[in-house]
Amino acid sequence: MIKVLDSVVDAIGLTPLVRLDRLTKQAGVKGTILAKLEYLNPGFSKKDRAALGVIEEAERSGVLKPGQTVVELTSGNMGTGLAIVCQVRGYPFVAVMSKGNSEERARMMRALGAKVVLVDQMPTSVPGQVSGGDLELVEQTAQRLSEDLNAFRADQFNRQGNWLSHYRGTGPEILEASNGAIDAFVDFVGSGGTYAGVTRALKERKPDVNCYIVEPEGAAASAGEKITQPEHPIQGGGYSIPHLAFLSDVAVDGYLQVSGDEARQTARLLARTEGIFGGFSSGANVAAALQLLAEKEAGRTVAVVICDSGLKYLTTDLWE
């Protein structure tokens, strides 16, 4: 039943699951891709779930005090989710982001009431391509601001509310919408929260589901490969962090790599064939799913997440 919600925060989650039959037909592969349209969340990304999960867990445990400032590093999506949740719940929010991320993200967070602190990239970094070194500079600034402001650090790489939001929401929603007809799941990892939460939920209910981590070609740190391309255009992940906390005890059935150009071209194909306007990581997920349907998961059903909206990349080369 459709009902009136108390706030936009209550609109987070319950996103559609959509078949990508036109795309798979054009790509010439056998099988089915089911896409979870997380870009239809209020902040246009899957990170709305993680933001709400982190804040609710902090409120429940008492580590976040009423009216306390919240600080977090972000590539833009977690920051947007936190800006929305904090605005509704009454917490000032400071987002710390690399200048290498697209400007649309900073503008959106400011519009939602957040203070945005932009951090210069390393001298050797490429604009629009955030490396692990760039992220470390952002982390240093976020730590300093948290101390100076006596703020609550949302810490998306470690707070349990991140992966729990996907364990309780995204994963079960995929299973319910598909009637359990899922053979594989792929996810481009940033913090690892989506992969960890969805994989746990899927494996508990259907242990034979194969779950794959997706990383940028040349920056597959989780797969244990040598980092040869720390700068890549797939924003929101692939930071060459070898040990993501959420992945330490989660099943991984395989690792897939996608180049920046593959992610770019697949995002464009997704828009043209299915009318789904996703970003770089969405393109990476669908590209990885196509890899699987062309090989080891041929003829089967693969679930992916459309992580965020292509609107957040209008000043990048994604839509040139």
**Residues assigned a catalytic role:** 47
In eight-state DSSP terms, residue 145 is: H
CA-nearest of 101, 99, 134 to 239 is: 134
Distance CA 306, CA 285 (A): 8
Specify burial of residue 157 (Cβ count, 10 A radius: 0-12, 13-18, 19+).
buried
Which residues lie below 8 Å from residue 89, measured CB to CB, with a gap of 6+? 9, 55, 59
CA-nearest of 153, 71, 157, 151 to 114 is: 71
Which residues lie below 8 Å from residue 112, measured CB to CB, with a gap of 6+? 43, 80, 83, 84, 87
* SS3 at position 3: coil
- 2: its two tokens: 């459709």
Distance CA 233, CA 127 (A): 9
Alpha carbon 229 to its chain's center:
20
Q: What Å distances lie between residue 254 and 122, 215, 262, 283, CA to CA?
A: 32, 11, 19, 19
Distance CA 269, CA 276 (A): 9
C-alpha count within 13 angstroms, C-beta hemisphere, residue 19: 9
Distance CA 201, CA 29 (A): 27
* SS3 at position 4: coil
